[in-house]
Chains A and B, each alone.
Chain A
Amino acid sequence: MGEPSAGPAVGADEWVARQAGRREYLPSWLGAAQRADERLGPWSWWAKLAFVGLVALSLPLLGIGPFQIQVGIDTLVLAMLAVGLNICVGWTGLLDLGYIAFFGVGAYGFAVLSSSQINLHWADYFSMPVVMIAAALLGLLVGLPTRRLIGDYLAVVTLFLGQIFGDVVLNDARGVLGGTNGIVGIDPVHGIGTIGSNEGYYYLLLFLLIATMAVLRLLETSRTGRAWRAVREDPLAADSMTIPVTRVRIMAFMFGAMVAALTGSIYASQQISVFPGNFDISVLILVYAALILGGTGSIAGAVTGALVLNIVYDGLLRNPTYSGYIFYGLIVLTLVVKLRPWRRLAAVLGATAVLGVIAHAAVGAVWPAAVAGGPQSGGWIASVIRDWVIVPSSPQTLGRFAFVLLVCLVIGLVQAKGWWRTALLVPTLYVASIAWEAILISPSEVAVTRNIMLGVIVIVIMISRPQGIFGARRVETAT
């Protein structure tokens, strides 16, 4: 920082006081970490990147299986896409709904140039730059006609332009793009040495993600990055402050397109095949969700959002045991955070435990078949709650009733006030557990439950941090 920053903070205002106050709230070791972080100053971002990179680099060495590696690859792909989307959406403030087409162009471009499709088999160090440049030119092509549009108008037009990609692929008369059959048999990445394993792709994608993050960080703190953000804040003021708004916007489109195309080409070679369905709106929504969850405008946020979203959704929620850990973990965590004082929390948890034990014993004594099912989730939680939760030998019917009852109880809980709410919490928790063990986690329903759980997690995160995990709080600016 510059020279005249020394001296007492005369008239230290509310903002300064709040910043100082926030630091004092932290417990000692966190405060120490924060002070160390502040000493690093502008290098702090790079230190964190290096640390996270090293952790990610060592993950495959821990002996994780092929499924986890595949989840890791998908996560890295999503993170790359989110980081690229952040250029347009987070920094420049352009609501670009055609972004996924650039991903598709990258994948299809690589698939055509490096496969038997038209027998080109270009080396990847040749075809990847070609694909990236082509995507950048396409970005220019999208940016030029939309240069005067902002907000939802731009969104509609880019959505339409993005849809053209799918139509072109599906209606390609000469069959170069394969139509609905897609393109199969794409060459693996074979620049320096052929990458034959998924571990290899994991490392390649990790390297590219870190490189992309570094490049974009350098760009963010340069005149270009400042111009992007200035255009987001107020295009007219930016124009009056010597910033050529149209050129700066198109630059954002081109950089975003290049990142998406690079990701697409790696994705194509790792998948060995590309299909039109890989690049539809649902993928776009996932990328947006990752970016918004992590915090628009932040590189670290985009990556974190992708990490949370994909690891939770694909890695953990598929597995009933992990899903159970997340379900119970979320409930307990929410109670610990929200229920004050501690005595009330202890009372609720104790009462729920007692209610379960009594109910289980009573029902078991009257009608043994009604508790014969046992919890359907695995892991240590199942053994803990075996004699607590009521699950009949054929749990479907009870599960459905419990689910409906749970919905009613939650509505009642929201309406109730004060003491009643605390009291109502006890049966709600118990019924939630029954619904979970009896039906939500059963093999036939787990795919649906996965989506519900993801929705709940996203809602919880967005309520507690509306600006996203790493996003900075922003004020609205009138444009």
Chain B
Amino acid sequence: MTSAAEMPGPEPVGDGDLSRVPVLALDGLSLRFGGLAALTGLDLAVYDGEIVSLIGPNGAGKSTVFNVITGVYRPSAGRVLFAGRPIDGLAPHHIARLGIGRTFQTLRLFLNMSVLENVLAATYGRTRATPVESILRLPWARREERAARAVASEVLSFFGQRLAGYRWDQPAYSLSYANRRRLEIARALATRPRLLLLDEPAAGMNPSETREITQLIGRLRDELGLAILVIEHDMHVVAGCSDRVVALDHGVKIAEGDFDLVASHPSVIEAYLGRDPEALAEGE
């Protein structure tokens, strides 16, 4: 295997003690759609090698957070800092190139491209060959292409037999639902991120696949040293992999801490189940 090291990783940022500077910091982030406040004054920090889960009932604004971080939406107020550098207002492809990879809740694979091409396409930002250089197959263009393929085979091998070599030339639409989720993660990894945003990675998976994906999230952190922010409804996944859990409701952070703390937090229970009618009566 040619060395994947030829592909430049995330751009080195900052010069001080990296453990002090969070990889991702949301600072008073707000987003309004007309009169609707999707996010209000959200503060959040994710550090290197940390897995943070974002939970909350439907419509709490979890995916919106992802869309603001990755530049799909521009925040109405507040800042998004990536390794200490403000990134709000940058285009999505620019943010992705800085080192934020993501998956989508509603799968958005390149369905009519092969499995391998899906992953290779995501190496665009880390390759440089111009069309003319590619046409002429100049030495550095070939070297770059080899490196991109090495990256692709590396990230696909993360999934073992699930995305084994014989599937590489299949169109992505031929994959099962669970494998599509895996391919989305592989594609995000091919952008060589430092921070990975996973939007409901276990949605639609059976219990054993869910266990597998929980372990995989841990491996991504342990073997690739990624910081991971994950949205998940399945509490087995959240409990199984998170270092820290952040709960959102109506675009506001209602609780933060380790899983047990957040899971038993009154506001979280209220957000999911509604207020206890007796307590409600007593309160009035």
User: What residues make up the interface of A, taking CB atoms closer than 8 Å to B?
Assistant: 1-7, 9-16, 215, 218-219, 222-224, 226-227, 229-230, 233-234, 236-245, 251, 255, 472, 474-475, 477
Evaluate contact between A241 and B112: CB separation under 8 angstroms.
no
Evaluate contact between A223 and B134: CB separation under 8 angstroms.
yes
Complex Cα spacing A215 to B122, Å: 23
- CB-CB under 8 A from A215, the residues of chain B are 135
What 1/0 flags go to B122-160 for Cβ under 8 Å of A?
A: 111111010100110100010001001100110001000
Please give the distance in Å from A278's CB to the nearest CB on chain B.
30
- CB-CB under 8 A from A474, the residues of chain B are 112
Given A223-B134, A242-B191, is A5 in contact with B168 using a C-beta cutoff of 8 Å?
yes
Q: Is B102 in the interface zone, CB < 8 Å from A?
A: yes
Contact of B125 among A11, A234, A243, A255 (CB under 8 A): A243
Evaluate contact between B157 and A237: CB separation under 8 angstroms.
no
Evaluate contact between B165 and A240: CB separation under 8 angstroms.
no
Complex Cα spacing A377 to B245, Å: 82
- CB-CB under 8 A from B129, the residues of chain A are 222-223
Q: 13 other contacts beyond A7-B164, A236-B72, A244-B94, with CB at 8 A cut-off?
A: A4-B157, A5-B165, A215-B135, A218-B134, A222-B131, A224-B134, A226-B124, A229-B117, A237-B108, A237-B110, A241-B96, A241-B122, A243-B124
Chain B interfacial residues counted at CB < 8 A: 54
Contact of B124 among A13, A15, A227, A255 (CB under 8 A): A227
Complex Cα spacing A132 to B191, Å: 35
Please give the distance in Å from B54's CB to the nearest CB on chain A.
18
Contact of A475 among B91, B96, B112, B122 (CB under 8 A): B112
Please give the distance in Å from B142's CB to the nearest CB on chain A.
10
Q: Is B62 in the interface zone, CB < 8 Å from A?
A: no
Evaluate contact between A224 and B131: CB separation under 8 angstroms.
yes
- CB-CB under 8 A from B110, the residues of chain A are 229-230, 233-234, 237-238
Evaluate contact between A230 and B113: CB separation under 8 angstroms.
yes
- CB-CB under 8 A from A234, the residues of chain B are 108-110
Closest residue of B by beta carbon distance from A222: B134
Q: Is B180 in the interface zone, CB < 8 Å from A?
A: no
Q: Is B93 in the interface zone, CB < 8 Å from A?
A: yes
Closest residue of B by beta carbon distance from A244: B93
Q: Is B13 in the interface zone, CB < 8 Å from A?
A: no
- CB-CB under 8 A from A243, the residues of chain B are 93, 121, 124-125
Evaluate contact between A223 and B145: CB separation under 8 angstroms.
yes
Closest residue of A by beta carbon distance from B112: A474
Q: Is B120 in the interface zone, CB < 8 Å from A?
A: yes
Pick 7 A–B contacts, CB within 8 A, sort by A: A13-B174, A226-B113, A229-B113, A234-B109, A241-B187, A242-B122, A477-B111
Given A2-B168, A223-B127, is A242 in contact with B111 using a C-beta cutoff of 8 Å?
no
What 1/0 flags go to B165-188 for Cβ under 8 Å of A?
A: 110111101101000000000011
Evaluate contact between B96 and A10: CB separation under 8 angstroms.
no
Q: Is B97 in the interface zone, CB < 8 Å from A?
A: yes
Evaluate contact between B153 and A4: CB separation under 8 angstroms.
yes
Q: How many A-B residue pairs have CB under 8 A?
A: 143
Q: Is B214 in the interface zone, CB < 8 Å from A?
A: no
- Give the 8 A-B CB pairs with smallest separation, nearest first: A242-B125, A5-B165, A222-B134, A15-B174, A233-B110, A237-B108, A241-B122, A239-B92
Complex Cα spacing A244 to B92, Å: 8
Evaluate contact between B148 and A223: CB separation under 8 angstroms.
yes
From B93, B137, B165, B176, name the one whose CB has the most chain A CB atoms within 10 angstroms: B93
Closest residue of A by beta carbon distance from B133: A222
Evaluate contact between B92 and A218: CB separation under 8 angstroms.
no
Please give the distance in Å from A423's CB to the nearest CB on chain B.
44
Complex Cα spacing A267 to B217, Å: 59
Contact of B117 among A5, A6, A226, A251 (CB under 8 A): A226
Tell me which residues from 69 to 104 in chain B have a Cβ below 8 Å from any Cβ of chain A: 70, 72, 91-94, 96-97, 102, 104
Evaluate contact between A227 and B170: CB separation under 8 angstroms.
no
Contact of A239 among B91, B131, B166, B171 (CB under 8 A): B91
Please give the distance in Å from B233's CB to the nearest CB on chain A.
22
- CB-CB under 8 A from A472, the residues of chain B are 112, 171
Q: Is B1 in the interface zone, CB < 8 Å from A?
A: yes
Complex Cα spacing A237 to B112, Å: 14
Please give the distance in Å from A84's CB to the nearest CB on chain B.
15
Given A11-B161, A223-B148, A477-B112, is A238 in contact with B166 using a C-beta cutoff of 8 Å?
no
From B1, B123, B164, B176, name the one whose CB has the most chain A CB atoms within 10 angstroms: B164
Evaluate contact between A222 and B109: CB separation under 8 angstroms.
no
Evaluate contact between B97 and A242: CB separation under 8 angstroms.
yes
Given A2-B149, A215-B135, A240-B70, is A475 in contact with B111 using a C-beta cutoff of 8 Å?
yes
Contact of A3 among B122, B153, B161, B188 (CB under 8 A): B153
Evaluate contact between B121 and A226: CB separation under 8 angstroms.
yes
- CB-CB under 8 A from A6, the residues of chain B are 165
Contact of A226 among B94, B120, B169, B188 (CB under 8 A): B120
- CB-CB under 8 A from A218, the residues of chain B are 134-135, 137
Contact of B145 among A7, A222, A241, A255 (CB under 8 A): A222
Complex Cα spacing A236 to B93, Å: 9
Evaluate contact between B134 and A240: CB separation under 8 angstroms.
no
Evaluate contact between A15 and B113: CB separation under 8 angstroms.
no
- CB-CB under 8 A from A477, the residues of chain B are 111-112
Closest residue of B by beta carbon distance from A16: B166
Contact of B173 among A12, A13, A475 (CB under 8 A): A475
Contact of A10 among B109, B157, B161 (CB under 8 A): B161
